Amino acid sequence: MFLLLSSFFAFFVIRPVLRIAVSLSNEAQELKAINAIYETNIRKIVALQGALESIRPKSYLVEAAIPSGPQLQPFISEIRQAAEATPLTIGSIDVGEVTYHDDSDKNKKRSISRSRSRGHLPKYRAS
């Protein structure tokens, strides 16, 4: 009778407890691996934040370097001035279609195209 009772106790009480203990141990190992991955990612984020904070004071340089629009007219004027200041002869200037984004009209496209005739550069107009 004692043998039957102890086997019943071992099978129905101790076995589920051992199963739970093993599954909890496996889950703890998985959570430790996930925690290590999270720690690595957090360290990377902190490093990126530090780099961002170090370059943030220089962000005005990006704003100054990138124009708000295409500004082709000043560009063409600079080319014209450079051509007049040197013995360089410009046969033609052809600017293909320019796509730019504006708050008022997001899909507006403009194209500028002109050829130089003898003597001087004609005025360029946006179409």
User: 14-46 pLDDT, tens per residue?
Assistant: 888 889 999 999 999 999 999 999 999 999 999
User: What pTM did the predictor assign?
Assistant: 0.43
What is the structure's pLDDT at 103? 56
What is the structure's pLDDT at 18? 87
What is the structure's pLDDT at 118? 45
What is the structure's pLDDT at 109? 52
Residue 13 exposed, middle or buried by CB count within 10 Å (0-12, 13-18, 19+): exposed
Cβ-based neighbours of 100, under 8 Å, separated by 6 or more: 69, 70, 108, 110
Angle at 92 between CA 97 and CA 83, to 5 degrees: 115
Q: In this model, does residue 105 exceed pLDDT 70?
A: no
Q: Which of 110, 39, 105 is nearest to 73 (CA)?
A: 110
How many other CB atoms are found less than 10 A from the CB of residue 72? 16
Q: Bridge-partner residues for 95, per DSSP?
A: 112
Q: Which of 112, 103, 96 is nearest to 69 (CA)?
A: 103
User: 46-103 pLDDT, tens per residue?
Assistant: 999 999 999 888 888 888 887 777 677 787 788 888 888 888 777 777 777 766 665 5
Distance set, CA 125 to CA 73, 114, 115 (Å): 8, 9, 12
What is the structure's pLDDT at 101? 60
In whole angstroms, give the CA distance from residue 26 to residue 38. Answer: 18
Higher pLDDT, 113 or 51: 51
What is the structure's pLDDT at 124? 46
Measured in whole angstroms, the distance separating CA 66 from the mean position of its chain's CA atoms is 17
What is the structure's pLDDT at 119? 47
**Which DSSP category does 103 fall into?**
S
